Chain A
């Protein structure tokens, strides 16, 4: 009577490389990229309604855990993806910057929603007009607030960046210049 239903287990795509009986060889870049992108530890920096959408993204219906990010980190020292969701007041700016500085390399930043990306409707003296004025941003998610699908799309974009990042990027001159532009080290 009861037929066993089998759900296929999703396994990440195997990167380019040589495989034979009992071994698989690929480049270090690809192996590390594969591991990093499928185990991102996000740090949610949620200040307003985008944070509520993020809660839906993490909850069972959308379940960001399916993409390897079920472990949220509330310490910047143990996370590698800073998710800024919501309006950042100018007074909050130095706090956000400090959080970013405390994160260990390699680190990525995603600006979720109109406010984090550009200040949004809050074009006023007290609101930071986009977090990219104080910290470098990798992916911007538009929307006010964006739906969980959009946030997931942003995470997938981040995964693409993480998976394809050269191991030497953080040692490059371009990266140093970027940090210098934001007056960090």
Chain B
């Protein structure tokens, strides 16, 4: 993940805090990388600002992924951004209640988010409002579960030949 240019971290925090205030809930450095927690409703605007600001220029979306916090009954999305110009990487996190997992799409900012958001929908059940093609991408269309949620049993449930005692259960 290197280089990440930590000298620019404080600058990004200040710039975002002055622009969005309370929407930036938390900033911390995790695994050498600046990680900002942003209120769900502001994620789209924050990302757009990060891309278009003349000094920040986070022009590249490295990755986007879903998350599940079973204890807090929350789902989350994490975005990794990379500024080629400033040689700087940051991470944006957001969380939402599992009962209402919806967030605005960022396909209008980076078209590359299209398949990644579909993947997050496929595996976590997060729906991205305004996405041009919100359907499953990897799993079979008939699937009703979201298999990367923690409560989902990963082993195939249709097998009859597996004896639990053989596996120390």
Contact = CB atoms under 8 A, between A and B. Distances in A.
Interface in B105-156: 138-140, 145, 147, 152-156
Contact of A129 (B138, B140, B147, B156): B156
Interface in A97-141: 118-119, 123-127, 129
Given A123-B159, A125-B147, A126-B147, A91 B140 contact: yes
Contact of A123 (B138, B139, B147, B156): B156
Interface in B18-56: none
Given A125-B147, A125-B152, A90 B158 contact: no
B95 to A, nearest CB: 26
Interface in A15-44: none
Nearest to B152: A125
Nearest to A118: B161
A126 B159 contact: no
Contact of A126 (B139, B158, B161, B162): B139
Interface residues of B, number: 15
Contacts of A119: 156, 159
Contacts of A91: 138-140
B162 A123 contact: yes
A118 B159 CA distance: 9
A131 to B, nearest CB: 14
Interface in A121-165: 123-127, 129
Contacts of A125: 145, 147, 152-157
Contact of A124 (B140, B145, B156): B156
A129 B154 CA distance: 13
A64 B140 CA distance: 36
Contacts of A129: 156, 158-159
Contacts of A118: 161
B148 to A, nearest CB: 10
A90 B140 contact: yes
Contacts of A126: 138-139, 147
Interface of B: 138-140, 145, 147, 152-159, 161-162
Given A123-B156, A123-B159, 20 more contacts: A91-B138, A91-B139, A91-B140, A118-B161, A119-B156, A123-B162, A124-B154, A124-B156, A125-B145, A125-B152, A125-B153, A125-B154, A125-B156, A125-B157, A126-B138, A126-B147, A127-B156, A129-B156, A129-B158, A129-B159
